[in-house]
A and B are shown apart, each in its own frame.
Chain A
Amino acid sequence: MDIQFVGEHLLPGRLGQFFIILSFSSALLATLSYYFATVNNLKSPLSGEFATLSASWKRIGRIAYMLNLVAIVGIGSCLFYIIYNHLFEYHYAWAHSSKTLPVYYIISSFWEGQEGSFWLWTFWQGVLGFVILKRGKSWENSVMTTLMLSQTFLASMLLGVEVFGTRVGSSPFILLRNAIEAPIFARPDYLSLVADGNGLNPLLQNYWMVIHPPTLFMGFASMIIPFAYAIGGLWERRYTEWIKPALPWALYAVMVLGTGIIMGSFWAYEALNFGGFWAWDPVENASVIPWLTLIAGVHVLIAYKNSGHSYFTATFLVFISFILVLYASFLTRSGILGETSVHAFTDLGMFWHLILYTLTFVALGVFMMVSRWKEMPITKKDEETYSREFWLFIGSLVLTIACVQILATTSVPVFNAIFGTKIAPPPNVIEHYNKWQVPFFVIIAIISAFSQFLKYKKTDSRKFFISLSVSLVAAIFITAAVVYITGVYTNAMYMVLTYAAVFSILANGRILGDALKGKWKLAGSAVAHIGFALLLVGALVAAATQKTVSVNTTGIGFGDEFAKSNDPKENIILYKDEPVKMNRYMVTYKGDSTEGPNTYYRVNYKVIDEKTGKVKENFDLFPNAQQNAKMKQIIASPDTRHYLFNDIYTHVSSVPLKEETHTPHEGHSDEENYEKPLTHEVNVGDTIRYRQGFIVVKSLNRSAQIQNIPVASGDIALGMTLEVNEGDKKFTAEPIYLLKSGTPYDFGKNVEEAGLKVRFTNIYPDKDKLELMVYQKPKAEKDWIVLKAIEFPFINLFWGGTIIMVIGFLLSIFRRNKEIKTS
């Protein structure tokens, strides 16, 4: 008998599932229709039977495409409705959101899971398809065939239906009771037991996570368009025509994907406590590789357009870039990265599905290349050495080689899976990559500088060297200054890279200067190159000279043997309100505050002028951690102080775990938590010192009241009003002394914030003194945090460089777009 479940909302899920099926079938129909539209158009392009047939197929294709877009929007709306209304009967909502999440993080939980991010991808591909539909003109049929084929694959990832016993895709609309087996699902009212969802991973609760995934996936989605143009160009034998319309698209893809990657880097810098903006993590590499290959592709496309050289290389790079996007999604989503990556997804049963997706597009590219090989316009002429096209070609190849290196190391787990080997990644990954990438980028930066001074076809070599020599020489002096100021002189290779980047900035700066005088054409490339060179210098300086400021100088350690081989020690312990000198900062942990699930640790930084003793800088940082006492874990997020020339980046690496509830147990007196008390004989107006501050006896309250105990006429109830001063904080407490029917009692007071307990224990009328006992919490019980702080010098060069580079891409898009219109 079926159980009638209470309280489930099945409609949005059913509707969503319907839209998924619709999106899959409409995408398939659109692919076929556009295919036949292209094929028939090829048979007779202008008029006649085939032309009419082609037109009707195109009409069907367009309708199917529109249906597909509607279905995609429908899927998104249903899923958002489910998450927004906390319908935890759906696994996706349960697994990725919770009731306490603010609305903007509900948006991030939408794409936390694989299904949501697939949706994002298919949505952007759909939106870009609309642009092709409106403005693609004669390219619509062939480009849309490829695009809709990709849409079909993406839709199939969301299907979640069983075909011949295997589940194809993973639907976001699966019900919790179908996704997980648990005894509670035997109860009809199980939903009332599911109080809340799992919530969003705290690391993703960052504003960058609201906009980074959409941007990144828009970048991924736009990579297909140059690919589709290249396929169309070969398919329809319009070998040279495709390059012009594809070029702005390629630039667009590079710009958006680049922005997305940088946003991810911002997120890593601001939210992850890895201590940096780039960690060469396989997931990061996977998205940067296609970006670099398409940048190389853009350069050879331009070379071909202007000189007729490098046709094959241009087509190949455009092909491989999209294939690498698919490979990236295979790496991150199939679970193959396993133990090498920090933030890869695990397998949702799509391993072979993803391989099929990738291989289909590999096959498509290879087939087109092979079948049109003899007709491709590959020149037999030799390039001039002093020509721009030759160096564009060389630069692109070097960039590709750099990618091969990143790809080779990132793919280690894939090789292990294929060949059954057990190779481990290099022990020091960052060093490994830097060793290879620094020389490559030296060459790339230098080529990006001087090739701007070369002309297509042939350049007068004498003029070329004269115009370059100024920049070459000036760069030496500037490099010397930069190296000196930033302190990267410890490594020869770093100095060479700095020189290359400075040279590139100067050379491209001259081009930009010419551009401002009216030669606008090269402005985009000059700006992009300057941005790229700045990015290189910024990344290099920040990474090479980053300095841990939280060095443990106390010398306390576990044995000298350990300390000898493992210096420097990078974490420092801070006790509450005890200032510690850390580099040029006086750092004090001031306490914590809890806001929602986050605990914020207030850490005060002061810079004190040693001579005058004046406080030059004074600021608080609030690194936070999400505590979960049951799980015995914290998830820490850093806080950063931004200066123009450097950043101070702080995160807690360990904190005392808060107990869920603190119930004093029987048989233990409260005083066991304190050190041995100190007894003072005081009078009104006296001041008593204790470890962290002082107590002032303010007054004596002769009409003190004690809860639940009536004070009879013969009894004495005295309250001692105390003011506890700790740092700049003041607390008041009033311990009470009671003499009831001749028996003395006292009622102590706790001052939790100061870690004190005070008791008014006796009166000595003869001495005119009052007895005050002060209990202090032992030092170790005081609040502490373990802190790590890193200084990143000149990090703004990196961020500034990335922004300038993106502006450069934008300018180039305008220029190349104009070229289509004017031709």
Chain B
Amino acid sequence: MKKSSIVGIIIIAIAICVIISTYADSSTYGTFTDAKTTDTELHVVGQLNKKKELVYNPQQDANYFAFYMKDNKGLECKVVFNGSKPQDFERSEQIVLTGKMVGNEFHASKILMKCPSKYTKDQIEVKEVSAAPVQTS
């Protein structure tokens, strides 16, 4: 067999491994109920409860933002985000959180929201914010 064919086969094998482990890295979409049962980070999709208070007082702490969100099953949970309040947050139609439960609060490391955009009213604009990386060292 040709050397390049052997290499080709090895490469294809690596490619398959890469794809499989890429999906092993991936997360899942879940609800707050799912989040309570797992320790790993997951994505929760839901809507902001606009009737409840949004806590963001930069004068006290510029890195604490808390709000209440209802997941797609209708369960409400307090969400804490380690960062500044994303602008436009009040108008969000849908929120995708990445994070995990800590006690009774969901600690989000990333918030991605969809807002009706001012600039293109018939389109949807997607915005993303990330919290500070949790230091592991």
Contact = CB atoms under 8 A, between A and B. Distances in A.
Contacts of A404: 15, 18-19
Interface stretch (A30-38, A43-51, A569-577, A640-648): A569-577
Given A401-B11, A562-B82, A425 B123 contact: no
Contacts of B82: 562, 566, 569
Interface residues of A, number: 75
Interface string B81-102: 0111101101100101010001
Contacts of A567: 132, 135
A729 B41 CA distance: 51
Contacts of B80: 562
Contact of A394 (B7, B102, B110): B7
B75 interface: no
A557 B64 contact: yes
Interface in B22-46: 22-23, 25-29, 40-43, 45
A712 interface: no
Contacts of B127: 342
A343 B3 CA distance: 44
Nearest to A397: B11
Contacts of A274: 128, 130
A339 interface: yes
A556 interface: yes
A661 B1 CA distance: 80
Contacts of B59: 573, 780, 784
Contact of B84 (A562, A654, A784): A654
Contacts of A398: 11
A292 interface: no
Residue among B22, B122, B137 with the highest chain A CB neighbour number at 10 A: B22
Interface string B117-137: 111111111111011111101
B85 to A, nearest CB: 6
Contacts of A179: 122
Contacts of A485: none
Given A565-B134, A567-B135, A342 B128 contact: yes
Contacts of A599: none
Contact of B91 (A200, A344, A380, A632): A632
B117 to A, nearest CB: 8
Nearest to A416: B29
A341 interface: yes
Contact of A636 (B26, B87, B120, B126): B87
Contact of B120 (A95, A422, A424, A780): A95
Interface in A363-398: 380-383, 385, 390, 393-394, 397-398
A211 B42 CA distance: 39
Given A393-B4, A426-B26, A427-B42, A786 B84 contact: yes
Interface string A564-605: 011111111100000000000000000000000000000000
A354 B60 CA distance: 50
Contact of A385 (B3, B90, B122): B3
Contacts of B114: 339
Contacts of B18: 401, 404-405, 408, 436
A367 to B, nearest CB: 23
Interface string A195-206: 000111100000
Nearest to A653: B84
A309 interface: yes
B107 interface: yes
Nearest to A432: B25
B61 interface: yes
Given A201-B119, A569-B63, A654-B85, A383 B4 contact: yes
Contact of A557 (B45, B61, B94): B61
A631 interface: yes
Contacts of A390: 3-4
Given A490-B137, A784-B59, A632 B3 contact: no
A633 interface: yes
Contact of B88 (A200, A570, A571, A632): A632
Given A394-B7, A409-B22, A199 B91 contact: no
A382 B126 contact: no
B3 A383 contact: yes
A425 B58 contact: no
B42 A654 contact: no
B118 A424 contact: no
A548 interface: yes
B18 to A, nearest CB: 5
A199 B14 contact: no
Nearest to B5: A382
Contacts of B83: 570-571, 653
Residue among B43, B119, B120, B124 with the highest chain A CB neighbour number at 10 A: B119
Contacts of A428: 41, 109, 133
B51 interface: no
A412 interface: yes
A346 interface: yes
Contacts of B45: 339
B74 interface: no
Contacts of B124: 346
Contacts of A405: 18-19, 22
A654 B28 CA distance: 31
Contacts of A568: 132, 135
Contacts of B27: 423-427
B68 to A, nearest CB: 16
A48 B121 CA distance: 62
Interface in A489-519: 490
A558 interface: yes
Contact of A569 (B4, B119, B132): B132
B10 to A, nearest CB: 9
A424 B42 contact: yes
A398 B10 CA distance: 11
A634 interface: yes
A653 B132 CA distance: 13
Contacts of A418: none
14 contacts: A345-B123, A401-B11, A408-B22, A422-B29, A424-B27, A424-B28, A565-B102, A566-B131, A570-B83, A571-B84, A632-B88, A653-B83, A654-B85, A784-B59
Given A427-B27, A632-B88, 4 more contacts: A198-B120, A401-B15, A552-B63, A780-B59
Closest 6 CB pairs of A and B: A653-B84, A569-B63, A427-B41, A566-B82, A633-B88, A571-B62
